[in-house]
Amino acid sequence: MTGLTTQTAYIDEIHAWQQDMERQLRAEDGWLTVVGFEWLKAGQNTIGSSPENDTHLPPSAPAHLGVLTVDADRVTLRVTAFDPVTIDGVPADPAQLYLLFDGHTDSTAPIVRMGSVSFFIIQREGQYVARVRDNESETRCNFAGRVWFPPDPAYRTTAVFTPHAAKRTIQVENSRGRLTDMDNPGYVEFELLGEKRRLEAFQADDGRLWFVIRDQTSGRQTYGAGRFVYSAWLDKAANQLELDFNKAYHPPCAFTEFAMCPYPPPENRLPISLPVGEKFPG
């Protein structure tokens, strides 16, 4: 392939990735639908759209959906509403106690649904949370679309990963004002625009490494809290990966106040501008 053909193919790849990111954000289970992040207390938690409940749902949900019970290692639900309620697509039976959390990952959580509203249980920092979604949320219905800088191959580079000698975590602040421990298996070193740089890496569930970064565009042209970048392994045996800042994108907390996103550690605050990837429309 000629250089021009290669560059055109690369730009097409970036545009396809951008379209996929747009689809994910707008999806029925995308971040634009998230309308609640409800911490649960130990014992019983009433849940519904009525303000008198412990756990709150949007107005279109039943006023009194039921009771969530939290004990040491699980969360259960007993439904008391007369409105149609399903759990993983199956109509709920008020006579049955449903197990909503028993150590699962977010992607396997049983989903409780009533009309356009749904919720499921997650665990954050040792506490249980009801994450609430509404497919008809104002944010989703009025979303104008992600905004991107033009792709620039100069901001794609090969990085070398160096594992830390011992298992390690980094404690970082998150968007809800809490400190959280992040798995930090090592760091990467790379050259960008003629300068050598280094970033601390986080471990993703799918085996990739990912980075939370801030640069000189943050708060001006991009989201002030920073952006995320996931890596792709080029040669895992040689600890080489592709680091492409054209695929830097805004974290969920740029789109909803009901997300909990890590902020960049001090080591990942770059003194340069990265005018590629996702752009903040304001």
Specify if 21 maps to a domain: no
Of 124, 140, 156, which residue constitutes the final position of a domain?
Answer: 140
Q: State mean pLDDT over 156-174.
A: 94
DSSP state of 255: T
Q: Contact at 8 Å (CB) between 30 and 44?
A: no
Specify if 203 maps to a domain: yes
Specify if 78 maps to a domain: yes
pLDDT of residue 282: 58
Asked whether the whole model's pTM tops 0.85, one would answer yes
**Torsion sign across C-alpha atoms 245, 207, 126, 92:** positive
> What residue numbers bound the domain in which 202 lies?
146-279
Of 70, 105, 140, which residue constitutes the final position of a domain?
Answer: 140
Neighbours of 15 (CB within 10 A): 12
Specify if 96 maps to a domain: yes
pLDDT in tens, 246-268: 999 999 999 999 999 999 999 99
In this structure, are 99 and 203 located in the same domain? no
Mean model confidence pLDDT for the chain = 94
In this structure, are 106 and 190 located in the same domain? no
pLDDT of residue 26: 97
Q: Contact at 8 Å (CB) between 61 and 48?
A: yes
Q: Give the confidence band of 2 by pLDDT, cuts at 50, 70, 90.
A: low
Separation CA 276–CA 153 (nearest Å): 10
**Torsion sign across C-alpha atoms 161, 265, 250, 36:** positive
| H/E element, 9 | helix 3-26
In this structure, are 93 and 130 located in the same domain? yes
Q: Give the confidence band of 171 by pLDDT, cuts at 50, 70, 90.
A: very high
List, in order, residues 6 or more apart from 279 with CB less than 8 Å away: 147, 148, 149, 221, 222
Separation CA 28–CA 7 (nearest Å): 34
Tokens of 84: 């149609």
In this structure, are 156 and 47 located in the same domain? no
Q: Give the confidence band of 4 by pLDDT, cuts at 50, 70, 90.
A: low
In this structure, are 123 and 92 located in the same domain? yes
Number of domains in the chain: 2
In this structure, are 164 and 132 located in the same domain? no
Of 140, 159, 174, which residue constitutes the final position of a domain?
Answer: 140
| H/E element, 7 | helix 3-26
Phi, psi for residue 226 in degrees, rounded to 5: 125, -175
Residue 14 has pLDDT above 80, yes or no: yes
Separation CA 97–CA 129 (nearest Å): 19
Q: Contact at 8 Å (CB) between 259 and 31?
A: yes
Residue 1 has pLDDT above 60, yes or no: no
Q: Give the confidence band of 147 by pLDDT, cuts at 50, 70, 90.
A: very high
* Strands across the sheet containing 112-114: 34-39, 127-134, 117-124, 112-114, 86-87, 90-91
In this structure, are 100 and 206 located in the same domain? no
